[in-house]
Amino acid sequence: MPELSPTGSPKPLVPFLAPAPLAPFFNNTTPKLSGNCSLNFTAVDDLMTTTAVDCFASFAPFLANVICCPQLQATLTILIGQSSKQTGSLALDPTVANFCLSDIQQLLLSQGASDNLHSICSVHLSNVTEGSCPVSSVDAFESVIDSSKLLEACRKVDPVNECCSRTCQNAINEASQKISFKDGGLTSYTSSPKVDSCRNVVLRWLSSRLDPSSAKQMLRQISNCNVNEVCPLSFPDTSKVAKECSGTVKNGTSCCKSMDSYVSHLQKQSFITNLQALGCGKVLGEKLQKMNVSMNVYSSCQITLKDFSLQVGSQESGCLLPSMPSDASFDPSSGISFTCDLNDNIAAPWPSSLQASSSSCNKSAAVNIPERPAATSAQNGVNHNRLELSLLISLGTLLAAILLQV
């Protein structure tokens, strides 16, 4: 992506559209900054570029839940955290917050990001101000919290075990609760607006004590635990499927046709992770079971995990994003790319009373994921046993696929 300073003009941004080269589009607008925001954008240049790519134009709504919005929120947190080194404040004053949100939008837009991020990612003033938290200055924060203990818990977040051990998350919650009592108010419950506001303050303080890259890793890891726990899809009414597939199924073809039609609506929504796909399969399966569908329609109708994700390309193939945090990338020769998990061709698991909890700590127990045989590259002899593929999807290809589905 083009590098950009607040006062300079960006270099041309040339997306490569598929399948044939088209006239290049140059994004040569200079962002119109307010001049009223004290955030240090220069300190997070690389982070802003990553965010612009993750939220690139028309991709943003389809990568919003897993990539774009978590990255945007991390960027806002780190911007305030890094700026607190000069300002001493872990929150923006409400009088300048709108100016800063506008400046951030303008800077990202000038690098190719969507012009509707505030709506897509539900960005509000509370994302950058103190909200209802009684502590917002660095000095006040450090007078209440055992900062060395908090930093030790979150300096290096274990990417494999954090979602289950919650080492960093528990430390953050403890600190959030503690500073929420600073005004002598009543005890707040964990998910109260007051504690949530204080949690934002804690995350900003942590981001001020780590370099931007490390802070981003920490924030994306802990937010990813929540992302993988929830199926983000909206499920239409299942009565037509239940009508064809409930009780003793006499016409399997009619049942599967109805099931395929239903799943096609899910495939127009967004990219999801492999763990989210497991959760979505469980949600839909339980909905059907409540409507007297006892047959394993996933197996009978060959419904796989990737059928719950957005379908792209001429083959209308589903792409499941990895459960670990990832970013999109931009390359002038290939366009926008992001990583798909190759381990997504397995059948969606049909819910049963004996099935383990769908918690991310128990995903391996919920479905037996077969190991993919290692492949060898003919060009460099490298043994590839990772279950991932860098799927290069240009803007034109994705938009064409989406338009065909509308």
Cα distances (angstroms) measured from residue 301 to each of 231, 260, 263, 346, 347: 22, 8, 11, 13, 10
How far is it, in rounded angstroms, from Cα 273 to Cα 326?
A: 10
Quick one: tokens of 51?
Answer: 């965010």
Q: What is the mean pLDDT of residues 388-398?
A: 42
Q: What digits encode the pLDDT tens for the residues 142-195?
A: 999 999 999 999 999 999 999 999 999 999 999 999 999 987 665 556 678 999
Q: What is the mean pLDDT of residues 71-84?
A: 97
Beta bridge partners of 337: 329, 392
At residue 31, the pLDDT reads 86
CA angle, corner 203, sides to 155 and 280, nearest 5? 95
At residue 61, the pLDDT reads 94
Q: What is the mean pLDDT of residues 118-141?
A: 95
Which residues lie below 8 Å from residue 403, measured CB to CB, with a gap of 6+?
none
Residue with tokens 């127009």: 268
Cα distances (angstroms) measured from residue 181 to each of 25, 186, 194: 53, 7, 10
Q: What digits encode the pLDDT tens for the residues 22-55?
A: 223 335 467 889 999 989 999 899 999 999 999 9
At residue 402, the pLDDT reads 42
Q: What digits encode the pLDDT tens for the residues 243-282?
A: 999 888 777 899 999 999 999 999 999 999 999 999 999 9
Q: Of the candidates 137, 206, 207, which has an alpha carbon nearest to the alpha carbon of residue 171?
A: 206
Q: What is the pTM of this model?
A: 0.81
pLDDT band at 335 (very low <50, low <70, confident <90, very high): confident
More confident residue, 295 or 356: 295
The amino acid that residue 45 corresponds to is D
* Region of residue 14 (phi > 0: left; psi between -120 and 50: alpha; otherwise: beta): beta
Q: What is the mean pLDDT of residues 225-240?
A: 95
Peptide bond between residue 19 and the one before it cis (omega within 30 degrees of 0): yes
At residue 182, the pLDDT reads 85
pLDDT exceeds cutoff 70 at 371: no
Q: What is the mean pLDDT of residues 353-359?
A: 55
Quick one: tokens of 287?
Answer: 């909905």
Q: Of the candidates 372, 371, 360, 318, which has an alpha carbon nearest to the alpha carbon of residue 340?
A: 318
pLDDT exceeds cutoff 60 at 1: no
How far is it, in rounded angstroms, from Cα 147 to Cα 149?
A: 5
At residue 354, the pLDDT reads 53
At residue 392, the pLDDT reads 43
pLDDT exceeds cutoff 90 at 405: no
The b-or-e profile of 362-372 (16+ CB within 10 A means b, else e) is: ebeebbebeee
Virtual torsion, Cα 139, 145, 151, 152, nearest 10 deg: 150
The amino acid that residue 181 corresponds to is F
Contact 255, 299 (CB under 8 A): no
How far is it, in rounded angstroms, from Cα 321 to Cα 341?
A: 6
Q: What digits encode the pLDDT tens for the residues 279-334?
A: 999 999 999 999 999 999 999 999 999 999 998 754 567 789 999 999 999 887 77
